[in-house]
Amino acid sequence: MSILTFLARRFIAGEKIEDAARVIKNLNQNGMTATLDILGENVKSEQEATQKADSYIQALDVIDKERLNSHASLKLTQMGMDVSDGFCYDNVSRIFEKAASLNNFVRVDMEGSDYTRRTLDLVYQWHQQFPNMGTVIQAMLFRSLEDIKELNRRKIRVRLCKGAYKEPRDIAFQDRRDINENFVSLMRLLLKEGDYPAIATHDEKLIEATKEFTQQEGIGKDQFEFQMLYGIRRGLQLRLAQEGYNVRVYVPYGTHWLPYYLRRLREKRENLLFFISNFFKD
């Protein structure tokens, strides 16, 4: 067994929807919710992208049939964005329609900065028809403040994360302290003006900053949620849930785990250190 396979077993639910369903059911039993992610990105053909969207539609049916408390998260390059924005729009709209029929929610993940503007343009279009969707903003990008202001104005739900992609200096913060400071500023803006924001971090200092701010501002625990990755800081996830916070766990599954993790580990040295260090934390 390779070291990557060994690591992946900690952070990926499995290769089939049944594997993910078992993980989500266990999370639900422990007071946490989930968001389901089918691994894959940068699809180059309409046929494959259509199949990927069909897989999400089937997964939403399983969530409903099994009565799982879970949303879904997807990447637009998996849905055909590299084919064309028009094809991607129609393909993903099928998923939103299915989720709406089941009273569920789907979040559009944010990928590298080459896709940020196009992703947000599509999100703005979709949200006019499908209010049961949201997106993600990365604190490391300079543009994120203005993007969040616009998303708040449109009442589009946002997940705030630090950002896992290596970005150039002219568009993104490089120093960890600067990224954290911007994260806190954006977190406060989302909590004051956003629509049920998701604060996605495993950094206990940022979690404490979020808790302190909500207490100071009288923001209830039901007005936002923490989000974390499956297999990372499991003890912290459970502790927050026991404290009465809404905790949603990002649960990836699928057969494309190896290329996914290879890309993430090559992208930034910090990603490799992050996964290795968290493998040994509860």
Residue 41 confidence (pLDDT) = 87
Instruction: Write down the catalytic residue from 37, 109, 157, 233.
Output: 109
> In order of start, what are the domains of the chain with their CATH numbers?
3-33+109-245+254-279 (3.20.20.220)
Find all residues with CB under 8 Å of 80, minimum gap 6, and list them.
Answer: 43, 46, 49, 50, 87, 88, 91
Given the residues 157, 159, 233, 248, the one annotated as active site: 159
Query: How far from 263 is each of 14, 34, 78, CA to CA, in Å?
Result: 19, 24, 14
Model pLDDT, residue 259: 62
Which tens digits make up the pLDDT trace of 14-36? 899 999 999 999 999 999 999 99
- Three-state helix/strand/coil letters over 194-233: CCCCEEECCCHHHHHHHHHHHHHHCCCHHHCEEEEECCCC
What Å distances lie between residue 78 and 35, 130, 236, 258, CA to CA?
Answer: 17, 20, 31, 15
9 classed as catalytic: no
**Cα end-to-end span (Å), the chain:** 23
pLDDT single digits (tens) 55-111: 999 999 999 999 999 999 999 999 999 999 999 999 999 999 999 999 999 999 999
Please confirm, yes or no, whether 159 is among the known catalytic residues: yes
**What is residue 1's predicted lDDT score, i.e. its pLDDT?**
47
pLDDT for residue 11 = 82
Four-residue CA torsion sign, 50, 51, 56, 57: positive
Q: Within a 10 A sphere around the Cβ of 264, how many other Cβ atoms?
A: 15
Cα gap 182→247, rounded to integer Å = 22
Question: Partners of 225 in the beta sheet?
Answer: 198
Tell me the pLDDT tens digit for each residue of 112-147: 999 999 999 999 999 999 999 999 999 999 999 999
- The backbone torsions φ and ψ at residue 172, rounded to the nearest 5 degrees and listed phi first, read -145, 145
In sequence order, what are the beta bridge partners of 159?
136, 198
Tokens 């404490």 label which residue? 208
* Adjacent-strand bridge partners of 184: none
